[in-house]
Amino acid sequence: MSHDAYSADVQTHPAIRRVAHWLLALSILLMIGSGWRIYNTSPIFPFNFPEVLTLGGDGAISIVHHNDGGVANAIAWHFAAMWLLVGSVLLYLLHTVLTGHLRRDLLPVGPRAFLRDFIAAATFRLDHRLGEYNAVQKVFYLGVLLAIAMMILSGLAIWKPVQLQALTWMFGGFQGARLVHFLFMVAIVGFLVVHVTLVAIVPKTLLAMVVGRASAASHQIPAGEPHNIPAGE
């Protein structure tokens, strides 16, 4: 959130950030859906993802087209969507750094603030203020960016274990890179579950990310409702 005239309870998202956010969201869904189908062909753990949750088309049609149950499709998706992922994450990062969104709204975040807000959140005493990120949110957003970075790096290590062998080596080899790729996928799915749940609880954040602006002023805060522990430092 940009501090429009430094008023809290207003959340604004500039157009570029919104575009980057939704492209990133789309690319992550494509990467997860196709990645799960690819995982199923050679699972690391003793389970498969249900095929209906994966991306790669109808297995029966694919067998007729490709003599293949759909993993060719899934791989094609994965290696097409990776460009969308890299493009949108770069757009987001560039915009976030250049507009000062990173420095002003996402940093700094100290362990004490995180602990305080985390305990408040865990006991349902943390108020969500539009236009201001509490320390838990900051860690969450920075964390998912880190996870995306790790997904890109481990993905490159899996894609190019010969040409980028130093990178693959740092992940403990080809199979190590696959494991890291899987674990950060789990982290991102975990983020998505919490992120979408919180958006459902505070739908105005969705409004802000779609139309660019939302304020809490348009709806009445019931009198007497405790207006919160202040969030962030």
Partner 1 sequence: MGELPILRRTPQVGQIERRNLLRGTLSLGAVSLLGGCDVSDSDAVQGVLAAMSRWNDRVQAALFSPTRLAPVFDERLAVKNFRYNAYFPKQKAPRLDASDYRLELSGLIGDKRPWRVAQLHALPQQSQVTRHVCVEGWSMIGKWTGTPFRTFLERVGADTTARYVGFTCADGYYEGLDMPTALHPQTIMAFQLSDQVLPSEFGFPFKLRIPTKLGFKNPKWVTSITVTNREPPGFWTDRGYNWFSGI
Which one, 82 or 130, has the nearer CB to partner 1?
82
Contacts with partner 1 by CB under 8 A: the residue count is 48
Contact flag: residue 66 with partner 1 (CB under 8 A): yes
Contact flag: residue 194 with partner 1 (CB under 8 A): no
Measuring CA to CA, which residue among 42, 66, 136, 160 is closest to residue 128? 136
Contact flag: residue 114 with partner 1 (CB under 8 A): no
Contact flag: residue 32 with partner 1 (CB under 8 A): yes
Interface region with partner 1, contact rule CB under 8 A, candidates 30-38, 115-123, 142-150, 199-207: 30-38
Measuring CA to CA, which residue among 101, 90, 94 is closest to residue 141? 101
10 Å CB burial of residue 153 (0-12, 13-18, 19+) is middle
Contact flag: residue 175 with partner 1 (CB under 8 A): yes
Interface region with partner 1, contact rule CB under 8 A, candidates 31-39, 95-103, 106-114, 223-231: 31-39
Among the listed residues 4, 48, 53, 206, the single contact to partner 1 using CB under 8 A = 53
Which one, 76 or 198, has the nearer CB to partner 1?
76
- Annotate 160-173 with b (16+ C-beta within 10 A) or e (fewer): ebeebeebbeebee
Single-letter code of the amino acid located at 63:
I
Helices marked H in 2-70: 15-41, 59-66
Contact flag: residue 5 with partner 1 (CB under 8 A): no
Single-letter code of the amino acid located at 218:
S
Concatenate the DSSP letters of all residues of 141-202 into one string. Answer: HHHHHHHHHHHHHHHHHHH-TTTTHHHHHHTTHHHHHHHHHHHHHHHHHHHHHHHHHHHHHS
x/- contact string, 146-165, with partner 1 (CB under 8 A)? Answer: -------------xxxxx-x
Cβ neighbours of residue 62 under 8 Å, at least 6 residues apart? 56, 68, 69, 70, 72, 73
x/- contact string, 74-103, with partner 1 (CB under 8 A)? Answer: -xxx-xx--x--------------------
Q: Give the footprint of partner 1 on this chain (CB under 8 A).
A: 26, 29-30, 32-34, 38-39, 41-42, 44, 50-58, 60-62, 64-68, 70-73, 75-77, 79-80, 83, 159-163, 165, 169, 174-175, 178
